[in-house]
Amino acid sequence: MTASPHALELLQLAAAAADSKGGEDLVGLDVSGPLPLTDAFLLVTGRVERNVVAIASEVEDRLNEAGVRTLRREGKAEGRWVLLDFGDLVVHVFHEEDRMYYSLERLWKDCPVIPIQLPVPERAE
């Protein structure tokens, strides 16, 4: 089984939102095989707690504006690991230390990586 086109679209939208707030090391994973409840994960790193919260807020705002409801949100108050569940997509925004510690990429290493295509920034002339 592979991630649905809708999940892939949400992942790209969430990745662009995360990137716009300085999110780093963006990784998309197709978890549709082992997880029946979601299709894709987006893993993002923020440098400090405020950055983690800003990234998570921007992702949530952009997806909500696109008509996607947030089903569950956890960890936003602490700013270390924010989980946003949008159904087909689950976004994990980590503080860099927590990302290294939990190492979800290693845990889900058998899942295919989904290429992320970020918008090209406009050049000031």
22 class by beta-carbon count within 10 Å (0-12 exposed, 13-18 middle, 19+ buried): middle
Whether the pLDDT of residue 12 is over 90: the answer is yes
Q: Which pLDDT does position 36 carry in this prediction?
A: 86
Residue 122, domain member (yes or no): no
Residue 125, domain member (yes or no): no
Please state the rounded mean pLDDT for residues 6-11.
96
Residue 94, domain member (yes or no): yes
Instruction: Provide the whole-model pTM.
Output: 0.93
Domain limits for position 45: 5-114
Residue 119, domain member (yes or no): no
Question: pLDDT digit string (tens) for 21-66?
Answer: 999 999 999 999 998 899 999 999 999 999 999 999 999 999 999 9
Q: How many domains does the chain have?
A: 1
Whether the pLDDT of residue 117 is over 70: the answer is yes
Question: pLDDT digit string (tens) for 61-81?
Answer: 999 999 999 999 999 999 999
Here the CATH number for the domain that contains residue 30 is 3.30.460.10
